[in-house]
Amino acid sequence: MGRKRVHEVSLKEGERDELESFIRKGKASARSLTRARILLLADDGRSDKEIVDVLKVCRGTVRNTRDRYWKGGLDCALNEKPRSGAPSKIDGRVEAELTLLACSDPPDGRSRWTVMLLRDKLVEMGVVDSISHMTVYRTLKKKKKKKAQAMAREEVVYR
């Protein structure tokens, strides 16, 4: 198995000043600042091992930053691509159904609703195809927090 090709970094005119200014400002994420330092050290001709030792990052970070600069330029090397994440299973309709269900009387033989019971009932009613109990928990917690904030605002207004 051959060694991976190391892309040499030679910053274009003005990019070095831009990176130094970027680091001096310190307004970016720690990851972006580290990538900027990697590019500056790589432009100075430092090896990956030297950069790893100086910045205390893993070798993959250095290699990936070099590759991203080589493929897409400075902006691509410094910034991450947006992450899509999973689409939310809870929309306003599902949230309303969950709230109504949680406020209703619990099933026979139970003194209160549990998140597991709520999850099973939402699926049984056909509100959602599937949902985790943690999603139910987080949604109810968020609703509780919003209600507390609204009550606090009302207290401030009427005092």
Q: In which band, very low, low, confident or very high, does the pLDDT at 42 lie, cut at 50, 70 and 90?
A: very high
Distance CA 67, CA 70 (A): 5
Residue 155: per-residue pLDDT: 62
Extract the tokens encoding 8.
């040499």
Hey, where are the domains in the chain? 15-78, 92-158
Q: Please state, for a pLDDT cut of 70, what percent of the chain lies above it.
A: 92
pTM of the model: 0.56
More confident residue, 101 or 143: 101
125 to each of 54, 91, 94, 99, how far by Cα in Å? 59, 16, 11, 14
Q: In which band, very low, low, confident or very high, does the pLDDT at 34 lie, cut at 50, 70 and 90?
A: very high
For residue 45, how far is the Cα from the chain centroid? 33
Q: Please state, for a pLDDT cut of 90, what percent of the chain lies above it.
A: 69
Residue 23: per-residue pLDDT: 94
The per-residue pLDDT for range 56-87, each reduced to its tens digit, is 999 999 999 999 999 999 999 999 888 888 77
Q: Give the helix ranges, DSSP H, for the chain.
A: 15-25, 30-43, 48-55, 59-78, 92-103, 115-125, 133-158
- Neighbouring residues of 21: CB distance < 8 A, sequence distance ≥ 6: none
Q: Three-class SS of residue 8?
A: coil
For residue 121, how far is the Cα from the chain centroid? 31
The per-residue pLDDT for range 83-102, each reduced to its tens digit, is 888 777 788 899 999 999 99
CB atoms within 10 A of CB 44: 12
| Residue found by looking up tokens 């939402």 in the block | 122
For residue 135, how far is the Cα from the chain centroid? 17
Q: Mean per-residue pLDDT for 5-10?
A: 79
Residue 159: per-residue pLDDT: 47
Residue 2: per-residue pLDDT: 54
The per-residue pLDDT for range 92-136, each reduced to its tens digit, is 899 999 999 999 999 999 999 999 999 999 999 999 999 999 999
